[in-house]
Every structure is written in C-alpha cells, then in structure tokens.
C-alpha cells in the first residue's frame, strides 16, 4: 500500500518534505513563484457586485475562446458552392457556400455542435453587453480618473474590437441575414469619396460578394482581432493589479488603502466559483433559447433579402444611424457622393469616441493631477453623470432607429413616424436627458444634505402637547454620516491673475476662458449643493429649538 510505504519512508528519513512542498520548491527554484505568491496572495479586492461586471466580461471572453476553438474544428471558411445534403429537410438540394454548409453540419450533424454554437453566440452578446455595463460602472463612479486613464482606453478598445470581432463572426456562416449585413458594410465602404470603390475591391477581392470574404473574415475573426484582444485583456488585468482596485467611500476606507478580502483564499474561491456560475448561466440560456437560426434564414444570395435584417445588438446603433438618415445624394461630373450613407459612416466612430475621450476632458476641466482611488457616487458628480446618461440616451435612440420596423409592427405605429421621432430625438433627447439627470442628481444631493443635518425620516408621527404633529427624525450613525460626506467638492477654477507682479497685463488664452467657463458649469452654484459642514451639523444637532 502506498500510504504505508510513504509512512514508512517518512519514518526512515524524517528530513524529506511532503510531496506538495517538494513540487512547490521545484517550481520556485525555476519560476520564482514564492516571491510572486508572497507579493500577490494577500492582494486585497473590495467587495461590491458592480466590481464583478468586469469578471463577467472576462469569463464570457474565455467561454467564447473555448467554444470558438471547438467550432473551428468543423467550420470550413470557404465560399465554394456545394449542394446541401444534410439532415435539415427544408434546405435539401439547395446550393450554398461551403461555409454555410459546414455551419449547417455543425448545427445538425456534429454532436453538441448546435449547443456549442449557441453558447458561442450568446456568450458574444453577453460579453459585449457586459463590457457596456462595466464601462458605464467605471464611468459613473469616476473610476477612470488618474491613474486609470490608460486602462479606460484599453477597456474602450476592447469594446470596439469586440464589436468588430462579433461582426466578422456573425458574417462567417454566410447566411442570408449576415450576408445582408456584409452588403450593408460594403455599401458603407463604397460611400467613402474617391477611395471607397478601391477599398471595397481590396476587401472583397473584386466585386461583391466575390469568393474571398469568408476566408478573410475568418482570419480576422479567429486570429487577428482575438489576438489583439487577448493582449489587451492581459494588459487590462495587469493594470488592475498594478493600480489596485478602487472602492466606494466608507469608514476606514481611504485613498491609500484597499478594504476587502485577500486574493487567496477568499477571492480566488469567489472568482473561480463565479466563472462556473457565468458558464452555467450562459450554457443554460444557450440550451433554452435559439440564436441565429441560419437554417431558417437560408444561404446568402445577393439577390435575396429579408425584412427584419438587423445586426447583433452592439452594431444596432450603426443600423439606426443609416435607417434614419435622409437619403441625400450629390451628383457632380458623373460622380455620386452618397451622403445618406457617408454621414452615418462618419458619425458611427464619433458616437464611440464621444464617451472614450470624456475622462480627458474632465481631467482638463478640473486640472486635478492627484490620484483617485475612492469612487464617486454618481449624484456627487452631476455634470459627469448627466453627460453619461445623455450619451446612453443617444445610443438608445439610435438602437430604436435600428429596430424601427419591429417597433412599428409590435406597437402598431407608423415606421415613418418612428423614423422622424428618432431624427428629432437624436438631437433633442440627449439634451433633455442631460438636464433631467443633472436636476435629479442635485435633488439627491439636497436629500443627502438633509439626511445628514436632520436625520432619517422614521415614519413615526408624534403629536406634541399643544397639538402640533411632527415626524420623528432619527439621527444617522457615524458610518452613514461619513459615507454621505466623504466626497470632496471642487471649486470652479477661475482664470489666474491677469496682471503679474510687475503690473503687466498678460493675454488670457481662449482655452483658459473655455476652461473657466466649463469649470463654472461643472462646479458652480448651479451644479452642486455644498455639502454640510461640521459647524452646520453641530449647530443643528445642538438642539436649540429644533425637533
């Protein structure tokens, strides 16, 4: 028996360490894991559900890679024409590309193929949705501030690359829906003045659709973009480790510490378990609900098209841009400038860049060069929060435009009315959202101030001896008071002295004036409620004639 032998051996030579220790020792001598583990095993992560949104993205990304590898084993990235003879009856004998044929084969004749395909596709949608929400969490809590600006950009790039990886993957099966999407893209490329035609011919190897694009998209989808993304993910995680995680304000939490659980064992167990939970939820969804049923759509033929042809949700705003854009065209000297397509193509990146550059604009306005590790509550940064909500509104308006036909059929509306609504809302809705959000934030700030100074409304109504009814307010605990008053408030930055010590007037630059104006808009009297001071608190709670 091995146990007996080892016991005997231990008895004989007591100096020999247990197997685990020996393995660790062997590895440490070659990889230096001891110092690595010593430095990182006790790394602290704060606990909050919203800090796990990034994990959802990471895990769904891993799931996508795993299932994607399985799919590559059976997928043929070729546009050669073949006749279908698989097990799906309604397509028997139809001509299709090998790409479509092999996807049908994966769906109907490979064991577990359809489930893996659906996990892959659902995980992709959830990956992008997760990144969106994660990005918004970082945005609204101000986690993008110094020192995390670079990591914000890494995350943003991951989102954009994720969109294009998703789009190329969606196009691979060469079905009628995705083929329409590729045609849409070709149209957008063609609308570029002067070079559009050349770019299109370069991408498709000639006239659309040609015989090349599936193979080319395949390389981009499985090699180029995921490779870059993997690198960015690693960089993103290294930076998270290096910067340490941010945390919400609270007693004992400062800009110089992190309060939470150590990586080992608590966080490792949680994160590991969470991976399986994410995999489980996505697999369950993939087992329950159908996604991209290519058999129902049929093989792509450029002369066919279906209604309800939309891209996956993350490209939906580009669909919206094109659907609501009036079909303007300019003709001169036999050349056509298709503004109806080209303008949306130009706005498409601008929508994304608008949110990406925001952190830099804010840091320029505040001129704050300090590090920030304590998160803001969204209400305490009303202008930022209002900008974020306005951006989301803008994005959502475009999504409505992208699905205008389904809004029309499901809500019994006129598609033209929806299109006009989106055209107007594209300009108006973000402004309204900005104003409304800012006011709500200020209202919440006032409420916080009220709570700090007067306590929490207890709901108990008391009748005083002389007949007056009052509501009893309970004072907040010390922890709550700290949390509600921990944020700092900026002063609007004024333009520096315009006259130097020698009395010489200096020229004030336009950028300085702009910055002062923006700063006033951000932190002026209209834009924040001064938080209660200690004096105010003392005066009110000292009890002179106050109930």
CB atoms within 10 A of CB 145: 23
What's the CA gap between 376 and 143, in Å, rounded? 8
Of 37, 352, 406, 540, the one binding another protein (CB under 8 A) is 406
| Binding residues for another protein restricted to 42-61, rule: CB under 8 A | 47-53, 55-56
Spatial CA neighbour of 169 closest among 111, 131, 224? 224
What's the CA gap between 28 and 147, in Å, rounded? 33
At its nearest, how many Å lie between another protein and the CB of residue 305?
Answer: 6
Reading the block at residue 473, the tokens are: 């307010």
Backbone angles phi, psi at 335, to 5 degrees: -110, 145
At its nearest, how many Å lie between another protein and the CB of residue 89?
Answer: 6
| Binding residues for another protein restricted to 464-493, rule: CB under 8 A | none
At its nearest, how many Å lie between another protein and the CB of residue 301?
Answer: 7
Contact between 325 and another protein by CB under 8 A: the answer reads no
| Binding residues for another protein restricted to 167-186, rule: CB under 8 A | 176-177
Contact between 401 and another protein by CB under 8 A: the answer reads no
At its nearest, how many Å lie between another protein and the CB of residue 377?
Answer: 18
**Of 85 and 447, which has the nearer Cβ to another protein?**
85
Name the DSSP letter for residue 477: P
**Of 54 and 196, which has the nearer Cβ to another protein?**
54
Q: Give the total residue count for the chain.
A: 547
Contact between 66 and another protein by CB under 8 A: the answer reads no
The answer to whether 260 touches 247, Cβ cutoff 8 Å, is yes
List 395's β-bridge partners, or say none.
none
CA–CA distances in Å: residue 290 to residues 68, 98, 117, 377: 18, 23, 10, 39
Reading the block at residue 525, the tokens are: 């009297």
At its nearest, how many Å lie between another protein and the CB of residue 290?
Answer: 3
Q: Residues near 182 by Cβ (< 8 Å), separated by ≥ 6?
A: 171, 208, 209, 213
Give the CA angle between residues 130, 132, 137 to the nearest 5°.
90
* Dihedral in degrees, nearest 10, Cα atoms 292, 294, 297, 301: 120
**Of 248 and 537, which has the nearer Cβ to another protein?**
248
The answer to whether 372 touches 142, Cβ cutoff 8 Å, is yes
What's the CA gap between 367 and 75, in Å, rounded? 53
At its nearest, how many Å lie between another protein and the CB of residue 129?
Answer: 5
| Binding residues for another protein restricted to 96-115, rule: CB under 8 A | 107-108, 114
Could you give the angle at which helices 404-411 and 316-324 cross, rounded to 10 degrees? 80
What's the CA gap between 233 and 237, in Å, rounded? 6
**Of 406 and 521, which has the nearer Cβ to another protein?**
406
CA neighbours within 13 Å on the CB side: how many for 393? 20
Question: Considering only 148-156, 406-414, 448-456, 490-498, which stretch makes contact with another protein by CB under 8 A?
Answer: 406-414
Name the DSSP letter for residue 141: T
Question: Considering only 234-242, 296-304, 363-371, 454-462, which stretch makes contact with another protein by CB under 8 A?
Answer: 296-304
Of 19, 89, 350, 504, the one binding another protein (CB under 8 A) is 89
Of 136, 228, 291, 436, the one binding another protein (CB under 8 A) is 291
At its nearest, how many Å lie between another protein and the CB of residue 362?
Answer: 27
What's the CA gap between 121 and 312, in Å, rounded? 10
At its nearest, how many Å lie between another protein and the CB of residue 49?
Answer: 4
At its nearest, how many Å lie between another protein and the CB of residue 313?
Answer: 3
At its nearest, how many Å lie between another protein and the CB of residue 108?
Answer: 7
Of 9, 195, 238, 277, the one binding another protein (CB under 8 A) is 277
Residues touching another protein, count (CB under 8 A): 75
Contact between 257 and another protein by CB under 8 A: the answer reads no
Of 68, 173, 226, 316, the one binding another protein (CB under 8 A) is 316
What's the CA gap between 338 and 345, in Å, rounded? 11
Name the DSSP letter for residue 252: T
Of 72, 92, 197, 255, the one binding another protein (CB under 8 A) is 92
Contact between 409 and another protein by CB under 8 A: the answer reads yes
Contact between 310 and another protein by CB under 8 A: the answer reads yes
């Amino acid at each position: 028996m091995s146990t007996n032998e080892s016991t005997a051996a231990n008895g004989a030579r007591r100096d020999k360490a247990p197997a685990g220790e020996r393995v660790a020792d062997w590895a440490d001598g070659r990889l230096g894991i001891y110092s690595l583990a010593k430095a990182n095993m006790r790394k602290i992560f704060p606990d909050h559900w919203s800090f796990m949104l990034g994990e959802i993205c990471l895990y769904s990304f891993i799931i996508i890679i795993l299932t994607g590898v399985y799919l590559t084993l059976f997928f043929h990235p070729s546009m050669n024409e073949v006749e279908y003879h698989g097990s799906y009856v309604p397509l028997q004998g139809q001509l299709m590309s090998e790409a479509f044929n092999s996807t049908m084969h994966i769906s109907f004749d490979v064991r577990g193929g359809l489930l893996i395909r659906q996990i892959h596709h659902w995980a992709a949608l959830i990956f992008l949705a997760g990144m969106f929400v994660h990005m918004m969490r970082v945005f609204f809590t101000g986690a993008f501030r110094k020192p995390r600006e670079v990591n914000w950009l890494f995350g943003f790039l991951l989102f954009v690359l994720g969109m294009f990886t998703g789009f190329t993957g969606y196009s691979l099966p060469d079905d009628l829906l995705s083929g329409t999407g590729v045609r849409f893209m070709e149209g957008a490329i063609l609308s570029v003045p002067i070079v559009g035609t050349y770019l299109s011919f370069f991408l498709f190897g000639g006239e659309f659709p040609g015989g090349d694009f599936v193979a080319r998209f395949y390389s981009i989808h499985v090699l180029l973009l995921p490779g870059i993304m993997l690198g960015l993910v690693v960089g993103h995680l290294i930076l998270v480790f290096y910067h340490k995680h941010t945390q919400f304000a609270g007693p004992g939490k400062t800009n110089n510490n992190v309060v939470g659980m150590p990586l080992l064992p608590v966080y490792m167990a949680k994160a590991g378990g969470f991976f399986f939970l994410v995999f489980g939820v996505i697999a369950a969804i993939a087992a329950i609900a159908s996604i991209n049923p290519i058999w129902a759509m049929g093989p792509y033929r450029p002369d066919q098209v279906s209604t309800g042809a939309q891209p996956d949700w993350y490209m939906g705003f580009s669909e919206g841009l094109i659907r609501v854009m009036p079909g303007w065209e300019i003709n001169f000297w036999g050349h056509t400038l298709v503004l109806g397509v080209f303008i949306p193509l130009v706005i498409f990146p601008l929508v994304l860049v608008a949110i990406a550059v925001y952190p830099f604009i804010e840091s320029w306005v505040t001129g704050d060069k300090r590090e920030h590790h304590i998160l803001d509550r969204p209400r305490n940064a009303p202008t930022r929060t209002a900008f974020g909500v306005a951006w989301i509104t803008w994005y959502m308006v475009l999504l409505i435009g992208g699905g205008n036909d389904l809004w029309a059929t499901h809500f019994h509306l006129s598609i033209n009315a929806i299109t006009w609504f989106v055209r107007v809302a594209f300009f108006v809705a973000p402004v309204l959202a900005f104003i409304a959000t800012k006011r709500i934030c200020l209202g919440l700030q006032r409420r916080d101030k009220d709570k700090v100074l007067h306590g929490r409304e207890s709901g108990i109504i008391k009748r005083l001896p002389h007949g007056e009814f009052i509501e009893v307010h309970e004072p907040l605990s010390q922890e709550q008071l700290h949390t509600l008053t921990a944020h700092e408030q900026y002063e609007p930055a004024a333009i520096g002295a315009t006259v130097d010590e020698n009395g010489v007037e200096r020229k004030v630059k336009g950028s300085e004036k702009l910055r002062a104006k923006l700063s006033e808009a951000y932190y002026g009297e209209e834009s924040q409620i001064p938080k209660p001071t200690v004096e105010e608190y003392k005066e009110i709670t000292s009890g002179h004639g106050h109930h």
